[in-house]
Amino acid sequence: MNWVARLGAIALEQFRSWGHATFFFMEMLRAVPASLRRFDLVVAQVHAIGNRSLVIILASGLAVGFVLALQMYYALVIYGAAENLGLIVNLSLVRELGPVVAALLFAGRAGTSLTAEIGLMKAGEQLAAMELMAIDPKARVLAPRLIGGIISMPILAVLFSAVGILGAWVVAVMLIGVDAGNFWSIMQTGVDVWRDVGNGVVKAAVFGVICTVVALYQGHETEATPEGVAYATTRTVVISSLWVLGMDFILTALMFSRP
């Protein structure tokens, strides 16, 4: 009986924390219009979250493009289908790798920084001080970061894919000798802007919401101690990554189920 009670307590605690996170998200959404009226705060966050993630996103995109072109070429050349390289690389990047890998990197780079920042603001009573100055921290601090994350993430994913395609071009065309005209033209005919690129951007926006909300929630709910902030940043990466991977499967099934 004891283990049944324990299981029940764990389930109840889990539901409680989901409910709490949902309320937190709803309250942040309610604060969004006020933040949009002060767009300078959002722009500052796009700079802090987006611009400062550029180096890691661009470097990773290039590296992924390099190895993707190599691996695909090794596989395709066996079947004499190396001319399809450009299309496969492009679809892999814009549909899956761009949004997913960029989101995982975003969680690691920007998510942890958001969690630590909010956690330390809480530990230093800065959020409490704002509340007592009659300033809503959700509108002043959290919502601009949420909007900044939602704007930044799709742009970062698009840049990741674009740089990845350039990396693949360098390896395929300049190093291996795949025909450049074929590399680009098969992309033009095989990739649909709305179905492939558009859905990739939508995916990235959803991942942006997930990563930013998880990071802000973990920071906001952290225990105000050094250990608490350390645990919260770790949880941000783990929870964001699991949500991104799970959500990617669902979105892929919904978006690309028809041939």
Partner 1 sequence: MTSETFIEIDHVTFGYDASRPILSDLSLKFQRGKVTAILGGSGCGKTTLMRLVAGVYPTDKGRVIFDGDVVDTRDQAQLYRLRRRLGMLFQFGALFTDLSVFENVAFPLREHTTLPEAMIRDIVLMKLNAVGLRGAASLRIGEVSGGMARRVALARAIALDPELIIYDEPFAGLDLISMGVAAKLIRTLNDVTGATSLVISHDVPQCMAISDHVVLLATQGRIVAQGTPAELMASSDPETRQFVHGEPDGPVKFHYPAPEIGVDFGVT
Q: Which listed residue (1, 5, 78, 132) binds partner 1 by CB under 8 A?
A: 132
Q: Which listed residue (129, 175, 180, 242) binds partner 1 by CB under 8 A?
A: 129
Q: How many residues bind partner 1 (CB under 8 A)?
A: 13
Binding segment for partner 1 among 13-21, 102-110, 130-138, 207-215 (CB under 8 A)?
130-138
Binding segment for partner 1 among 97-105, 133-141, 178-186, 201-209 (CB under 8 A)?
133-141
Please report, as a single letter, which amino acid is at residue 99: P
> Toward partner 1, which CB reaches closer, 136 or 179?
136
- Residue 122 in tokens: 């809480």
Nearest Cα neighbor of 232 from 102, 100, 118, 153 is: 118
Burial 100-132 (b: 16+ CB within 10 A, else e): bbbbbbbbbbbbbbbbbbbbebbbeeebeebee
Does position 131 bind partner 1 by CB under 8 A?
Answer: yes
Q: Which listed residue (24, 25, 126, 184) binds partner 1 by CB under 8 A?
A: 126
CB atoms within 10 A of CB 166: 14
Contact predicate 157/103, CB 8 Å: yes
Q: How far is the CB of 219 from partner 1 (least distance, A)?
A: 15
Q: How far is the CB of 153 from partner 1 (least distance, A)?
A: 23
Q: How far is the CB of 81 from partner 1 (least distance, A)?
A: 54
Q: Which listed residue (1, 4, 5, 134) binds partner 1 by CB under 8 A?
A: 134
Does position 78 bind partner 1 by CB under 8 A?
Answer: no
Cα–Cα distance for residue pair 96/249, rounded to 1 Å = 10
Q: How far is the CB of 236 from partner 1 (least distance, A)?
A: 20
Nearest Cα neighbor of 242 from 214, 203, 218 is: 214
Does position 124 bind partner 1 by CB under 8 A?
Answer: yes
Cα–Cα distance for residue pair 126/91, rounded to 1 Å = 46
Binding segment for partner 1 among 1-9, 14-22, 134-142, 226-234 (CB under 8 A)?
134-142
- Angle between helical axes of 2-37 and 143-169 (0-180°, round to 10): 90
Cα–Cα distance for residue pair 34/58, rounded to 1 Å = 33
Q: Which listed residue (13, 125, 192, 223) binds partner 1 by CB under 8 A?
A: 125
Nearest Cα neighbor of 184 from 171, 198, 173, 200 is: 173
> Toward partner 1, which CB reaches closer, 163 or 229?
229
**Which residues ranging from 135 to 174 are in contact with partner 1 (CB under 8 A)?**
135-136, 140
Does position 36 bind partner 1 by CB under 8 A?
Answer: no
DSSP 3-state of 7: helix
- Residue 183 in tokens: 């590399």
Q: Which residues bind partner 1 (CB under 8 A)?
A: 120, 124-126, 128-129, 131-136, 140
